[in-house]
Amino acid sequence: MGFEILGVVFAFVILSLQGVLPLNPHGVSSFRWDWAVNSAIYWVTNTNWIAYSGERDLSYLSDMLGVQVQDYISPSVGFVAIVSLARSFSRKHSPTIGNFWVDITRAILYVWIPLGLILVFPLISQGVVMNFDPYAVAHTLEGGVQLIPGGPAATIITFQLACEDGANYFANAMAHPFENPTPFTNWFTMGYILFVPAAIVVMIGKLAISRDTTKALFAVMLVLFLLVMPLPFYAENQGNPLLEKLGVQGGVNMEGKEMRFSMFEHIMYIIVGMAPANGSTISQHDSVMPLTILTIIFMVVIGAPIFGCIGEGPLALIHYFIVTMFIAGLMTGRTPELIAKKVELREIILAGASFLFSSFSSLMTTAIVISSAAGVAALGNAGPHGLTEMLFAFASSSINNGSYMGGLNVNSYIINLMTPPCMILGRYSTLLVGIAIAGSMARKGKIPISAATLPVASPLFIVAVVFVVFVLSALAFFPAATIGPILEHVLMISGRTF
């Protein structure tokens, strides 16, 4: 925690002084104090909550020493937590689970830097900008003057995608032609987003010395990924009935979409960007259909187990495994076990607590802020859509996703000061619970596998885990979703507007 606090202080100082620091060719000013606190905590917690426009509000120094340094460090902290938990299953009666400094150094030197060096060149070859020049000045045909932004976009985007921090160097994110210029970069970045979490699943199985664990983790992620796909495809291809009645739009919902890409690519990027809590997008979330935003919120609130963010996603999935084993143990009358280790009261309480912390921070802050005059003033829309904007903002902050809908004024005092507690509680509750479970598992001995053991790679267990994911998220968030996106959908098809 001390290491992370130092990171927040360092980032806060950079943002507060960037107006007088070097490498600021376009003369951006320093951040307001609440803005700097919010952004510094977002960088350190790997949340992808961006209350600024990268090309307008950040200097090149802030990009390199702030954004990019934390793009190395913050996912490495989560990486250390999942390595510790995976390693604990292979240890017997061990008082230790590893060394933080050794693991974080290995993560940076042997994982992130090599990945970045290899994968940055395809982006540069396609036209993603990479320079330190002042912004170019263009004179338009109408006689106006336009600034063409540049900067070290390629390296930052590469690491943000790999580290599940969301590619947002420019304000329009992956919809910007300097950030995502070609169909190749569009599909390449989608594959890139899923590659690292999939590789981490393989690593977990190797560290835990259990191939079945790798199979089970990957199977659950894949099943969940496939289950969330149909609803957005249906909703976006149906279009908005309110606009169709006016003759404005027919067929599909193209509002808020980058016209260079097809509807299929837009929906795939929504799913690929939001399921792992990456946050990258080529469309505007505020303009998608209510059933699509319902799916997005579901992908967020389950804790990013679908090819999830570095550290927190795999940890959340293992917590779901523990809860599922506990339920299975209650049904069979046996002590639950996972990867040849007994799952006892301590692990069950810790796993359950991790879900409660993130759910509590999401729902409580939403209720507090939307009940205040300042919170209502930050909303750009009334009715259930406004509630959805607020719920989505705080849920994504709590699950290290950090996305928000465009109608919300995220650079307001109340949002700047209320989202950091969600970021902190959501991230560190998951990490600390994972490390606590790791310490408990490492101290235990291994138990022999018997005929009564429920195999983690069995179809029965995989279906049970998926069921538990849906039930736990529904218990926590279904009431809020009912008066948010679900109510908005019902009112929309009945012709009601706000």
CA angle 40–385–408, rounded 5-degree value: 25
Q: 366 pLDDT band (50/70/90 cuts)? A: very high
Instruction: Considering only residues 310 and 33, tell me which one the structure prediction assigns the higher pLDDT.
Output: 33
**3-state SS string over 432-483?**
HHHHHHHHHHHCCCCCCCCCCCCCCCCHHHHHHHHHHHHHHHHHHHHHHHHH
d(CA 321, CA 9): 36
Site of tokens 């538990």: 468
Share of the chain above pLDDT 90, in %: 34
**Is 409 buried (19+), middle (13-18) or exposed (0-12) by CB count in 10 A?**
middle
In this predicted structure, what is the pLDDT of residue 132?
A: 85
136 φ/ψ angles, rounded to the nearest 5 degrees: -75, 145
Residue 129, CB-side half-sphere exposure with 13 Å CA sphere: 20
Q: Is pTM beyond 0.85 here?
A: yes
Lowest mean pLDDT among 14-28, 43-57, 451-465: 43-57
In this predicted structure, what is the pLDDT of residue 9?
A: 92
Length of the chain in residues, anyone?
498
Assess contact for 473 and 282: CB atoms under 8 A: no
Q: Which of 379, 373, 365, 376 is closest to 409 using CA atoms? A: 379
Q: Which of 317, 302, 319 is closest to 228 using CA atoms? A: 302
Mean pLDDT, all residues of the chain: 87
Q: What is the domain partition of the chain in residue ranges?
A: 2-493
> Does the pLDDT of residue 54 top 80, yes or no?
no
d(CA 470, CA 303): 11
The angle, 0 to 180 degrees and rounded to 10, between the axes of the packed helices 211-227 and 459-481 is 40
> Does the pLDDT of residue 166 top 70, yes or no?
no
